[in-house]
Chains A and B, each alone.
Chain A
Amino acid sequence: MKAHLTRRYMFSASHRLHNDAMSEAENKATYGKCNNPYGHGHNYALEITVSGPVDESSGMVCNLTDLDAFVEREILERFHLQNLNTVPELDQTVPTTENLSASIYDILQRGFTPAHLEKVRIQETMMNSFEYAGTNEIRK
């Protein structure tokens, strides 16, 4: 039987929303406070959902130890306590949480094999969250 497993991780990072292709006025108008030159930070809550048949011998979709180890090595190592504008995955884009979600989704999609990746959800603050599932529909 197929189940969906969601695991939450926390990380903290700073960013500045700024696009060199825009004028100073346009950057200000588009990004507001998020355009302040020295950046600011968030405690991000990342939720990763994977799915697959529940293995009869272990009772699991995938071993949490494997997921935790992958996320620690490939995601938290890369983004936790960093300035997102300087991280290679994001330094050519505006490090919005939209782009961060897509970037984390791609890392998982490429490298995590024990279960099927369903979606990534990032809560940037208590007031907003973002979900990304590549080209797939998001299941509720």
Chain B
Amino acid sequence: MNNNLKSWLKKETSKCMFCGFCEALCPTVRFGSHRGYGPRGRINIVLYLSEEGKYTHEALNSLYSCLLCAACTLKCPANIDIPEVIRVARSLYARNNLKEKEEVVIEKEVS
């Protein structure tokens, strides 16, 4: 089941062209301490996680410091639903670390 979410995340995040256009409107990257606090960083960290990367300290900061405010989506040429990717990535983490059960709602989340 986890794999469904993972492959969806991988598919979405692979669209990223690393142009950084999304960063211009992101409030957290402006005041955060590095690129991981911006949408480009978040998307690429999720990509890294979906390829069996580790939930490092900064990976978690990147995921959980997002406001889900969606300003970034106004500028993304690849049309990635950035906040949704981040939310789903959080849910993947929750499944593995916060005892959230897996059997529910996978399709609902990524439809």
Please determine whether chains A and B interact with each other in the same assembly: no
Write the residues of chain A forming the contact surface with B, with a CB cutoff of 8 angstroms: none
Chain B residues with a Cβ under 8 A of chain A = none
